[in-house]
A and B are shown apart, each in its own frame.
Chain A
């Protein structure tokens, strides 16, 4: 069975500090990994996906198949980064998503 694990429910960091949101997955095959973000009172939106290998809003995430991880990182947190972050996976070519439980990031001014 496929599973996404986000071990931290809440992560608080000071502005300017580095951020790492952890995500581990289990999947038999080659999954596609995503990070979605939900700002307060807004809908879920795609932050980045592993196949794009891009940096969005200063965030990056590298797929580590050996460790089955897809941690989200940002070197310097900003107050506007405060939000709920969900790691998700899908099978190759599928749009069905399996979500982690989410991590609430709080950036302290």
Chain B
């Protein structure tokens, strides 16, 4: 079946550094991908829509300069958390819709811990 992967699965970094998270659709092309954030014991909150070949669309309250999104190919979207701070610590999940089956697939998530 269709699979979406994320790398890394977990990352620990120091405050002030930048962290890149990759989201890949492994056996289908995705012109659109979505990035969600999940705080402990809370729901998934949509952060932004990643569009292949164009700028990402950010949800209200999400800083685009803080969370840089690049969708350079039809199978890869990256989320870079710039100048990370402890409050950015969270679980980041991506998803990609497979249009041929009208089904959305989720990645396994990336646990970011900022010290």
B34 at the interface (CB under 8 A from A): yes
Task: Decide if B46 is an interface residue (CB 8 Å cutoff).
Answer: yes
Q: Which of A14-22, A57-65, A99-107 contacts B (4 or more CB under 8 A)?
A: A99-107
User: Which of A43, A99, A101 has the most C-beta atoms of chain B within 10 angstroms of its own C-beta?
Assistant: A43
Q: Which of A26-44 contact B (CB under 8 A)?
A: 36, 42-44
Instruction: Report yes or no: B32 in contact with A43, Cβ–Cβ below 8 A.
Output: no
Instruction: Flag if B106 contacts A43 (CB, 8 Å).
Output: yes
Interface residues of A, count at CB 8 A: 15
| Complex interface bits, B38-74 against A, C-beta within 8 A gives 1, otherwise 0 | 0000111110010000000000000000000000000
Residue A99 contacts which of B44, B49, B108 (CB distance < 8 angstroms)?
A: B44
In the complex, number of A-B residue pairs with CB atoms less than 8 Å apart: 37
For A99, what are the chain B residues with a Cβ–Cβ distance below 8 Å? 36, 43-45
Complex CA gap A1/B63 in Å reads: 20
Q: How far is the CB of A44 from the nearest CB of chain B, in Å?
A: 4
Q: Which of A36, A44, A46 has the most CB of B within 10 A?
A: A44
> In the assembled complex, which residues on chain B have CB atoms less than 8 Å from the CB atom of A43?
106-109
The interface on chain B, measured as residues whose beta carbon lies within 8 A of the other chain's beta carbons, has a size of: 18
- A45 with B46, Cβ < 8 A, contacts A95-B32, A95-B34 known: no
In the complex, chain B residues whose CB is within 8 Å of the CB of A86: 43-44
B108: chain A residues at CB < 8 Å are 42-43
User: Which B residues have a C-beta under 8 Å from some C-beta of A?
Assistant: 32, 34, 36, 42-46, 49, 93, 95, 97, 103-104, 106-109
Interface residues of A (CB under 8 A from B): 36, 42-46, 86, 95-102
